[in-house]
Structure 1
Amino acid sequence: MIQTHTLRITPTFLSIIAEIDEFKGAWRALGSLAPERLSALRRVATIESIGSSTRIEGSRLSDQEVQRLLSNLDIQTFSTRDEEEVAGYAQVMDTVFASWRDIDVTENHIRQLHRDLLRHSSKDQRHRGAWKTAPNSIAAFDEAGRQLGVVFETASPFDTPGRIAELIDWYNAATQDHDLHPLLLIGIFVVVFLEIHPFQDGNGRLSRILTTLLLLRSGYAYVPYSSLESVIEQSKEAYYLALRQTQGTIRSDTPDWGPWLGFFLSALQRQMLRLRAKVERERLLMGSLPEVSAQLLDLVRDHGRLTIGDAERLTGQNRNTLKQHFRTLVADGHLSLNGAGRGAWYSLR
């Protein structure tokens, strides 16, 4: 049974939830950008989400490499496991964005999402979409890959089906009862899901996809335009610490939800603040910048620095056209030019 009687909703939690919900309510007005600008925001956020979520689990592909791979997904053959994971994550995200209204929180849907997440991984073929059949406790490893010891014991394969069914039943009933705010329910669902670790592999990636699904189903329509995964990647140590602090108490009579919910709500707040800042800048610039220049500003904001070669790959624009837009952005004080020649790169001023 999921015990929430020990949940202490602090003034900080309430303040963050209120701020997020205020943005959620205003999104229709704030998001009244030109369709091509919204599309550009979503495209960048999607690449960030895929890159960050797979890197959290050990992938080495940069956002630029992810973007190049996604532009050629029709090839269906991949040279590395990292590429297989990126392709699967991208396709499941597309499914969630397109069909979230129809994806109820059920065992079948969770297993289908897991199956699709690992669809390109031959190594995972036997356990795609199936509950784990062997222990998968979380272990620590040294730099040589030798196991140092078990950090956290997950649910046993025997207990997993029952514990997942219990979690799903609790979430759906609590959603209907409206006893807790949806963001708190989603946070608790995610941390319990990760504590169970129901699949042999892919649990972390799937937990972040499920987070997006549950946020969309709870009315947070802005989520596709700002990457929560990127926020988590940038706070990875705090992410794992908060998980461990709460997970170690979940099966007790007095679970401590505070550490995880504190991290989770803070991450959602940073996701929202990033998007709010982007939209505010877009509205200020709307009508005053050409589309290509606005897109380049987006890319510099999201990647920190940008070369002309990066811009060519990410925008598909002609090199000479890009040079002209970069020159104007520098002259108007939006960007700074660093270095010279082919090694030159641009950053925000």
Structure 2
Amino acid sequence: MNSFEYDYFLDQPISQKILIAVRTLGEYKGKEILYKEQFPEVLKTLQQASIIQSTESSNRIEGIIVPENRIRMIVAQKAKPQNRPEEEVAGYKDILNEIHTNFGRHNLSPKLILKWIKDLYKYTPEKVTGFKTEDNAILEILPSGKTVVRFRPLSAQETPSAVSKLCTMYNKNIKDKKIEPLLAVASFVLDFECIHPFKDGNGRIGRLLTLLLLYQVGYEVGRFISLERITEESKEAYYDALYKSSQNWNKGEHDLIPWWDYFLSMLIAAYKEFEERVGYITTAKGAKRELVFAAIDKLPDEFSFSDVQRACPGVSFSTIKRALQELKAKKIIKSTGKGRDAKYRK
């Protein structure tokens, strides 16, 4: 809320870097619309991979580790969660699917946010139904092993009204077109994380809200390229930007620029990858095999079958195997070993 209070965002110095990033994303948005019309089957393949990667990465950022074969089965609804990490993964997957399917039907509100935190934990014995009831803090463990307070969010008492105010302010500014929508989404996410309204799950709910709000302002790249994976791959920059922009947030004297810079660069990285993949896969025929070829291009010179599987979560074992055999026949790669333990060199 502090980024919107008294139009605080209007006082931020907009650099050429930010202006160029916003313009670039507007251009990518136009291309995205064309890709949807021209390559629907290719985008369907990318979406399948994105759901798995998003579910895996967003949970792994929070230290929730589940083997990728189990995530695939849970996402495909071929298996029920068997332990606490899998229960949380299943809850995240359900919300993600809801966003992909019905993003236009959801109005940003405390009611929606509370529903999502409930759904995130619906498969666990611990049922979460409301905002935090005790004050919390964002901690950091130093290399020495000492734990320090990195940021102190709003108190539990202040949280319900703060979340309500944040949603109201965001919706009003979007309706009144008072702020660039991309910067409005970024500012909302920063404020949400600074409020830190739940005992646990704040990061994951924040990333799901990011996806929803981006969809609603017309940027749907997260449907095809996992924003959560890109965030995980740039985790240090993600936390550094959050830290810098959260300083003095409680006083309403924070600097939004570091977080805006990170947020826009993350989206540009997603759109670049999206464009590369669509450009690589020029027809729907053989799309999944082409995904494998594109993934291998980005892997190190030496890689394993499992590395390819992780890079192509929506592609079957047999399709990956055939693609690798084709590259071997063309002498593009060579292998040692067999099956999942095989190693390959370009």
TM over 0.5, shorter chain: yes
Q: Which amino acid aligns with 2:196?
A: H
Specify the SS of the correspondent of 1:251.
Answer: helix
| TM-score, normalised via structure 1 length | 0.87
Specify the SS of the correspondent of 2:207.
Answer: helix
**C-alpha distance in structure 1 between counterparts of 2:189 and 2:140, whole Å:** 22
2:333 aligned partner: 336
The structure-2 alpha-carbon separation of the partners of 1:254 and 1:325, relative to structure 1 and needing over 3 Å to count, comes to closer
Deviations 1:108-156 (A, max 9, x none): 1111111111211223x1xx23111011211123689x76222210110
The structure-2 alpha-carbon separation of the partners of 1:147 and 1:154, relative to structure 1 and needing over 3 Å to count, comes to farther
1:132 aligned partner: 132
The structure-2 alpha-carbon separation of the partners of 1:30 and 1:256, relative to structure 1 and needing over 3 Å to count, comes to same
2:20 aligned partner: 15
1:181 aligned partner: 180
Tell me, yes or no, if structure 1 residue 88 matches structure 2 residue 91.
Answer: yes
Q: Which amino acid aligns with 1:54?
A: N
Q: Which amino acid aligns with 1:27?
A: E
**1:68 Cα shift?**
3.4
Q: Is the 8 A contact 2:45 2:288 kept in 1?
A: no
Question: Paired residue for 2:32, among 20, 24, 27?
Answer: 27
The structure-2 alpha-carbon separation of the partners of 1:218 and 1:49, relative to structure 1 and needing over 3 Å to count, comes to same
**C-alpha distance in structure 1 between counterparts of 2:244 and 2:24, whole Å:** 26
2:289 aligned partner: 293
The structure-2 alpha-carbon separation of the partners of 1:301 and 1:170, relative to structure 1 and needing over 3 Å to count, comes to farther
**1:220 Cα shift?**
1.2
Tell me, yes or no, if structure 1 residue 38 matches structure 2 residue 36.
Answer: no
Specify the SS of the correspondent of 2:14.
Answer: coil
Question: Paired residue for 1:58, among 63, 68, 90?
Answer: 63
The structure-2 alpha-carbon separation of the partners of 1:276 and 1:155, relative to structure 1 and needing over 3 Å to count, comes to same
**C-alpha distance in structure 1 between counterparts of 2:250 and 2:314, whole Å:** 46
The structure-2 alpha-carbon separation of the partners of 1:18 and 1:180, relative to structure 1 and needing over 3 Å to count, comes to same
Identity %: 27
**C-alpha distance in structure 2 between counterparts of 1:131 and 1:322, whole Å:** 45
Map residues 1-349 of structure 1 onto 2, 5 A cutoff. Answer: 1=2, 2=5, 3-72=8-77, 75=80, 77-79=81-83, 81-123=84-126, 125=127, 128-141=128-141, 148-283=147-282, 286=283, 290-297=286-293, 300=296, 305=303, 307=305, 315-316=315-316, 318=318, 323-332=321-330, 336-342=333-339, 343-346=341-344
Q: Which amino acid aligns with 2:55?
A: I
Deviations 1:245-300 (A, max 9, x none): 111222224321011111111111111111111111112xx37x634522433554
Q: Is the 8 A contact 1:163 1:196 kept in 2?
A: yes
Specify the SS of the correspondent of 1:139.
Answer: strand
| TM-score, normalised via structure 2 length | 0.87
**C-alpha distance in structure 2 between counterparts of 1:140 and 1:107, whole Å:** 28
Q: Is the 8 A contact 1:292 1:325 kept in 2?
A: no
Q: Which amino acid aligns with 2:116?
A: L
The structure-2 alpha-carbon separation of the partners of 1:296 and 1:150, relative to structure 1 and needing over 3 Å to count, comes to same
**1:242 Cα shift?**
0.9
Q: Which moved more, 1:295-304 or 1:184-193?
A: 295-304
The structure-2 alpha-carbon separation of the partners of 1:114 and 1:73, relative to structure 1 and needing over 3 Å to count, comes to farther
The structure-2 alpha-carbon separation of the partners of 1:270 and 1:324, relative to structure 1 and needing over 3 Å to count, comes to closer
Q: Which amino acid aligns with 2:60?
A: R
Q: What CA RMSD, in Å, does the superposition of the two structures yield over aligned residues?
A: 2.7
**C-alpha distance in structure 2 between counterparts of 1:298 and 1:61, whole Å:** 26
The structure-2 alpha-carbon separation of the partners of 1:13 and 1:298, relative to structure 1 and needing over 3 Å to count, comes to same
**C-alpha distance in structure 1 between counterparts of 2:85 and 2:143, whole Å:** 19
Q: Which amino acid aligns with 1:163?
A: A
Aligned residues: 336
Deviations 1:24-77 (A, max 9, x none): 0121223345443222101111111111110110122354442233234552x4
